[in-house]
Each structure stands twice: as C-alpha cells, then as structure tokens.
Structure 1
Amino acid sequence: MSNFPKSKVKNVLVSQPKPADNDKNPYLDLGRKYSLNINFRQFIRVEGLSAMDFRAQRIDILAHGAVILTSRLAVDHFFRVCNEMRITVPEIMKYFCINEQTAYLQKYIQYRKRKIFFGHGTLLDLVDVIRKNKDEKFLLPCSDVHKEQIADFLDELKISYTKGIFYRTVSADLSDIKNLSEYDVLVFFTPAGIRSLKQNFPNFKQAGTRIAAFGHATAQMVKQLGYRLDIFAPNPQNPSMSMALDAYIKEANKR
C-alpha cells in the first residue's frame, strides 16, 4: 500500500458491468453517501474459443462420460463448441453442476433423459456423488484464466479428468473513455482488468488517480505493471471492496 496523500474523491470508475437501475449496489450506495459520481465500465470480456483453437488442444469430448460445469459460461461454451464441431452429446453423458443456477441445462438438453447432479454453491457438495462415479472420465470446461482449486480437488479424489479451455478472458475495447485522468479512483477486481488498463491506455500516467485492487493476484498485477496501489481489499478491517472504499473515502473527504 502506498502513502500517497489522500486527496478528495469525487469521481470513481468501477470495472464492473453497470447494475440495473433497480439493483441494490454497494457502489451506488457509496455514491449517495458521499455525493460521488460513480461510473461502471467492464475492462474485460469473455470470448469463446473457435472450433479450430479448441481442436489444437487435442481433446476428444466424446471420450468423456461426465462433465463438470462451474458456471453458466462453462455451460454455454461447452454446448457451443459441441455444436460448432458437430458433436452430438450422448444421452448417457453425466453433468455435475456446482449449483442449481448452473444446472440450467434444459436450454440445451431434456432434463428427464439425463443424469444431472448439482451442489449448493461449491464442488465440495458433490464429493459423494463424484466418488460414486469415479470410474468415469470427467471433462472440466474452463477459461484460460481460472482458479486451480477444482483441479486440485479432483486430484485429491484421484479422479481421471481433462481440463479444457472453452473460452478466454480478453481486454475490452475502451476507446470510448476519452479521459481516464478525470477519475479519482479506478477499481479493479482481476489481473486481467489491470492488463486491459495497460493495453487500452499505454500512455496513462497515474499521478493523482488512486487504484483500488481486490485480491492479492490483482494487487500484484498492479505493481507488476508499474502502477501504484492505493486501496486494497480484502483486509482485516474491510472484507469487501465497497467497505475498503468507504473507509478510504471517509478519511480522504473529511480533509
């Protein structure tokens, strides 16, 4: 964390999608609390791998009897790749989803004909049912940027699986932002967001703009790319980014 002077905060850019007007959002709440201008802009976007790029991984989808789906993106891109490669997923394929929301498979298959298992938020909820199907070969569709906890979990269970990249995180086009320096605080949640900042604004001089980062990997990328880290979360006092911003702005704006 830097010791850069805490000058007054008025304009904040949050690198997340703009919430619906009726959504309760902690950043909009901060805006009302301190009379701030809060803007939202995604710095990254998800792009599906083409069938050609997927083939380069030499993964035979039909050699697997089960699929682990950790997000709606994983669901959508698994079936998209199958469709583009003209693969008919057999009815005997088993689906393991981390929650019911992920298991919205009826968009692609008939529920009554398939074996679908879902947890209540984490893959740990599926330990018993995965163990009962340990003879299956599992396919784990994921992004090029992903956490290794699920792979570590499957290794621990001694499950045979293939990790396949079905989609990737890339920098968004931010050419519509004409003057980044008008913001007092830029808020980031992923290393990819910081890389997008560098890619879209290679000549950006941080000067008095404060950078807030959520998570150690994001904070590390801030420093790695030569920026100054001013606000960090989670920390013992502020477990969320909105709380860390609240504490910082309260101190900065009383001056």
Structure 2
Amino acid sequence: MIKKILVSQPKPTSDKSPYYTIADDFGVEFVFRPFIKVEGLSSKEFRQQKISITSFTAVVFTSRHAIDNFFKIAKEMRFEIPDTMKYFCVTETISLYIQKYVQYRKRKVFFGNSGKIDDLVPLMVKHKNEKYLIPLSDVHDDSVKKMLDAKGLTHSECVMYRTVCDRLTEEEIKNFDYDMCVFFSPSGVAAYKEAFPNGGKDSMKVATLGPSTAKAAHDAGLDVAVEAPTEKYPSMTSALRRFLIDQEED
C-alpha cells in the first residue's frame, strides 16, 4: 500500500492544493523535496553567447525562471528595457508574473492557454515583424528553433539559467522510506540515481510527468506505476488520484 509519497517539487504555497485533498481523501502523507534547483547565469556567462538584448523587440517566456533571469541579467548589464518591449508567455499565470518587474499592459503582453509554446506561435505570427528572444534552460533541444524557423519568424534562443542537482544529504538518504516518488523531469531522476546508484528501495513505486521523464525512469530501472499526462488524466494529481483509487479497489 502507498502511504508515504515524496514529491520532488517545492511545497505548494496554497492550502487548496490538490495534493492536500488527496492526502485527506486517501490517508496518504506527501513530503515535498525538490531534487533539482535552478541557477541563473551570470552576466559574464551570458555575454559569451554574443546575444545583445537591445537587438530584440519581444521576449518569449516559458516559465517564471525565464522571467526572473531575463530581468536579472538585464539589470546586471544595465540594459533599460524599453516600454515598447512585448512579452509572449505560455500561460496567463506566467504573464501576470511579469508585474513583478514592469507595469502590466495588456497591449504588450500575450499568452497561450496550453502551457506549450506551440499555442503561442499563431499569436507570434500575427506579430511577424517582431524580433523574438527566447530565454531557455541549459537543458533544451532545437524544437522551438525549428518551429519558429518554419514560420519565418526572426528569433534567437539563449541560455539564461541552468538546472543543477539539489543533492540529498546523508541523513536524507539514510532515512529514505517512501512508498512512491514523483518525478517531473529527467534531471530529477538523475539526481535520485546519484543518491541511490543501486536503485534504492526495491518496493518503491514511481510516478512521472512527461514522456522524457518516464523514459529516464524506465531507463534507470525504476518501477514506474504512474505516467502523466494522459488524455483522461491531464495532471499529475489527477493521475495519482486514479492510481490510489485503483489501489483501494485491488
């Protein structure tokens, strides 16, 4: 039976998180402990990419990390962002986060609904004369570049932050007694394998978000019991709920 679940993400900021509802409904305990952390590049490291922020008229944000590090580097390089700069975000939530740094104006901020950059492309095409900058993590592929190239958009991708392991302490490794571990990225799986090169607890089940995370977990020899998203269960919490219902019925 699954009773204690480690979620490799920060603790939810809201008491209304679906994780807490699941905990109450099924009598399980969730512990939140990220296996990875994000570090911003220094302005010196960024300059090595030979990217000039002043050359762009629009920025595409895929995460809050991208927003934080874009404005951090702009400040370090003493680049005053013009009022004419436009922002394209993969969700409305991310777009609202821009208010932390600049005055929010709807005519300058555009957002998609799916959380994927694919959903933004039609909006970007409507503004085809813009020069787009896309801040990314050090872990990315060429899919965004190919997508925007196909639409004939002027754009450049750049690395502004990196993902690194947030290593488990010796005490955490010694007391690791979870029935399930939830992973959200291949980097998280890699961090777990670094802590437990022999696989860790044999009976531990694994839940994964996204096909690349699932592949990493399978390749690592972990017991993958939950894979999200699916058409029926689009979120990790909905997939976990289904798994726990099935567990009770068995």
Report TM bin, short chain. Answer: 0.7 to 0.9
Residue number in structure 1 paired with 2:4: 11
Q: Mind listing any 5+ residue stretches in structure 1 that lack a counterpart?
A: 1-7
Structure number with larger C-alpha Rg:
1
Distance 1:23 1:103, change over 3 A: closer
Contact 1:187 1:211 in 2 (8 A): yes
Once residues 209 and 203 of structure 1 are traced to their aligned partners in structure 2, the CA distance between those partners, rounded to angstroms, is: 13
User: How many residues in Structure 1 have an aligned counterpart in Structure 2?
Assistant: 245
Query: Which of 210, 216, 219 is matched with 1:224 structurally?
Result: 219
**Alignment gaps of 5+ in structure 2:** none
How well do the aligned residues superpose, as a CA RMSD in angstroms? 3.0
2:142 matches 1:140:
no
The change in CA–CA distance for 1:115 and 1:81 in structure 2 (over 3 A counts) is: farther
TM-score (normalised: structure 1):
0.80
What is the alpha-carbon distance in structure 2 between the residues aligned to residue 76 and residue 118 of structure 1? 18
C-alpha spacing 1:209/1:63, structure 2 compared with 1 (3 Å)? same
Aligned: 1:167 with 2:161? yes
Q: Does 1:22 align with 2:15?
A: yes
Alignment match, 2:41: 49
Q: CA deviation at 1:67?
A: 1.9
Counterpart code for 2:79: I
CA distance in 2, matches of 1:250, 1:192: 29
Which of 54, 71, 80 aligns to 1:79? It is 71
1:4-44 per-residue CA deviation (whole Å, 9 max, x = no partner) reads xxxx222111112212462232x322222222222111122
Q: How much does 1:94 deviate?
A: 3.3
8 Å Cα contact 2:88-2:120 kept in structure 1: no
Equivalent residue in structure 2 for 1:108, among 101, 105, 113: 101
Amino acid at match of 2:241: D
| Cα shift readout 1:66-120 (whole Å, capped 9, x = no counterpart) | 22233332222111111112223344433334455425444434557x9613134
2:207 to 212, 215, 232: 212
Distance of aligned partners of 1:119 and 1:171 in 2 relative to their CA distance in 1, 3 Å threshold? same
The percentage of aligned residue pairs carrying the same residue is 37
Shift of 1:163: 0.3
Which has the higher relative contact order, 1 or 2, with Cα contacts under 8 A spaced 6 or more apart? 1
CA–CA distance in structure 2, aligned partners of residues 34 and 92 of structure 1? 51
- The one of 185, 190, 196 equivalent to 2:185 is 190
Change (3 A) 1:202 1:180: farther
> For 1:125 and 1:185, how far apart are their aligned partners in 2?
35
> C-alpha separation between the residues in 2 aligned to 1:89 and 1:20?
30
CA separation of 1:135/1:253 partners in 2, compared to 1, >3 Å: closer, same or farther? closer
Q: Does the CA-based 8 Å contact 2:204-2:223 persist in structure 1?
A: no
Deviations 1:157-196 (A, max 9, x none): 2101000111122211321524454111111121111111
* Whole-angstrom distance in 2 between the partners of 1:226 and 1:211: 11
Contact 1:9 1:253 in 2 (8 A): no
